[in-house]
Structure 1
């Protein structure tokens, strides 16, 4: 008896239908997992925007530190400061040692613009202080020249030079039309006024108000 393939029976349809059901269920499961993952990510992101109690405590500590720093700054501002922060106090005067170089006339102007004068040395103690400082800062212009009259050295306050022991050996020699004086760690030297050098400003210290 020949056995051919007959028409599909109920079991065949049921089997095919179940396969479709399995595919649908699998797709639905995948969609559900994706939605669940997206929901978890959204919750985590939202949760990260809300500070924890520990983060709130840390923020409060930071605020208190900033408040204390502000109070400390106010207290420092009220302290007596005879010289500005970048000036040096010595025997009732404030000294500014430049950090870049200019020629002599520009140095004179720079000091005047801050209410000071290119340094005029008034005592041997002051000379010693500036000479020692020059070991660290380098050669610098001071307020001494013979621009008005060759060989007659005058300070910027129009007082004549009374000392000669601080000139380096053989100086001043006016070798290259040198009319301006510089101070170094070893003494004084006359030099060309157009050369760029560091400079030193000087002004009286401010009295403390009580």
Structure 2
């Protein structure tokens, strides 16, 4: 699984990491950055990442508490949304899919991350909190451009 995940991560982070000067049409300005919030379709984490790339963005990384508070009102309450963060390459070290670097902001729910059943490597947001979850489970997703 780890080797396959590394190949997928590498292929998802290939050319085009730089955001375009103009955000794609479906993206909206929330705070100081552009996001697309999928409110209907649920996908696994890998397909959500590919979908964001096809749209001209990437899975979102929330950069601060302020940004989280600007995004949450746009989300369906109690729904699950994939974010960019994952620990597929090194258990317990959550990195962004685009930078492969640890991110400065996490808002983990109490007891998270817990890697339940040793199978939770991708991060979902539910309301104001982040949870580690199985990457092959389905959720809505948030893209950034």
TM-score class, shorter = 0.7 to 0.9
- Out of 32, 38, 60, which is 1:119 matched to? 60
Structure with more helix by fraction: 1
Length-normalised TM-score, structure 2? 0.74
How far did 1:90 drift? 1.6
SS at match of 2:43: coil
How far did 1:112 drift? 0.6
- Give the corresponding residue for 1:91: 31
- Give the corresponding residue for 1:20: none
Which residues of structure 2 form unaligned runs of 5+?
Answer: 1-21
Mapped partners of 2:128, 2:31: distance in 1:
22
Structure with more strand by fraction: 2
Q: Higher relative CO (CA 8 A, sep ≥ 6), structure 1 or 2?
A: 2
How far did 1:94 drift? 1.9
How many residues are matched?
121
Mapped partners of 1:131, 1:105: distance in 2:
23
**In angstroms, what is the RMSD of aligned CA positions?**
2.0
- Out of 167, 170, 185, which is 2:127 matched to? 185
Mapped partners of 2:55, 2:103: distance in 1:
25
Distance 1:194 1:82, change over 3 A: closer
Of the structure 1 ranges 112-121 and 155-164, higher mean CA displacement relative to structure 2 is found in 155-164
SS at match of 2:47: helix
How far did 1:105 drift? 0.4
- Structure with bigger gyration radius: 1
